[in-house]
Structure 1
Amino acid sequence: MRKQLYFWAALIWSLIISYFCLAQFSSVPLGNVSNIDKFVHAFFHFVLTTFCFLFFKNQYKEVVSYKPLVFSFLFSLFFGIGIELAQGFFTTTRQADIFDVMANVSGACLSLLLITLFGFNNKTK
């Protein structure tokens, strides 16, 4: 049951990221914070990596496994790169940005760091 919940959470979150990264927004009030979109990218991928980790964690029988950490990071990384490529090739109002990819990686790394620090990669019965 949890596995399905985490799968759907990751899928829906991926769709939300896709929408906000590919849709045209002409007048989105972002305030006066410099580079706020980088914080948004980091947040998106922090949550995505966390959901993916929770899903992948339920796939393995080992008590401690680093595979869920690696797979969730790689999924977030390649998903973020794919979104940036889609922005560059398929939209006229957006452009691919290497700094967005770096922000995505920052969010994913922060997720993995917190998962590791708080011991969530250990299976609890």
Structure 2
Amino acid sequence: MHKKIYFWAAFFWCSVISFFCLVQLNNVPLGNVSNVDKLVHAFFHFILTTLCFLFLKNEVKDSKSLKPVVFAFLFSLLFGIAIEIVQGLFTATRQSDVFDVLANISGALLSIILITLFRMFRKTT
């Protein structure tokens, strides 16, 4: 049951990311925070990586396997790159940004670090 919930949560989150990264958002007030969009990218991919991991860890029988962690990170990375490519090729109001990809990676890495720490802590208790 949890597997389906995590799958659909990850699917929904991919839809949220796609929507906010592909629609025109010129009139959205972002406040005075410099590069707040980079924080949003990091947050989006932190959540995406975490949801993908939760789904994938149920697919792997060996609880010590690194496959769910690696695949969750790679999926988030490739999804973020794909969104940037789509922005550059198929939208008139958005543009590709290497720094968005770096922000995506930082959010995904933070997720992986916290997942790894949680797994290490859980093994010691």
Q: TM-score, length-normalised on structure 1?
A: 0.95
Partner of 1:97: 97
Gap runs ≥5 in structure 2: none
Partner of 2:6: 6
Partner of 2:31: 31
Partner of 1:40: 40
* 3-state secondary structure, aligned to 2:26: coil
Q: TM-score, length-normalised on structure 2?
A: 0.95
Structure 1 position 26, deviation (Å):
2.3
* CA 1:40–1:115: 2 relative to 1, 3 Å: same
Structure 1 position 63, deviation (Å):
2.2
Number of aligned residues: 123
Superposition CA RMSD, Å: 1.5
Partner of 1:109: 109
The answer to whether the Cα contact below 8 Å between 1:45 and 1:76 also exists between their aligned partners in 2 is yes
Q: Distance in 1 between matches of 2:4 and 2:93?
A: 35
Q: Distance in 2 between matches of 1:66 and 1:14?
A: 23
Partner of 1:78: 78
Structure 1 position 120, deviation (Å):
7.5
* CA 1:122–1:56: 2 relative to 1, 3 Å: farther
Q: Distance in 1 between matches of 2:83 and 2:40?
A: 14
* CA 1:22–1:121: 2 relative to 1, 3 Å: farther
* CA 1:57–1:33: 2 relative to 1, 3 Å: same
* 3-state secondary structure, aligned to 1:12: helix
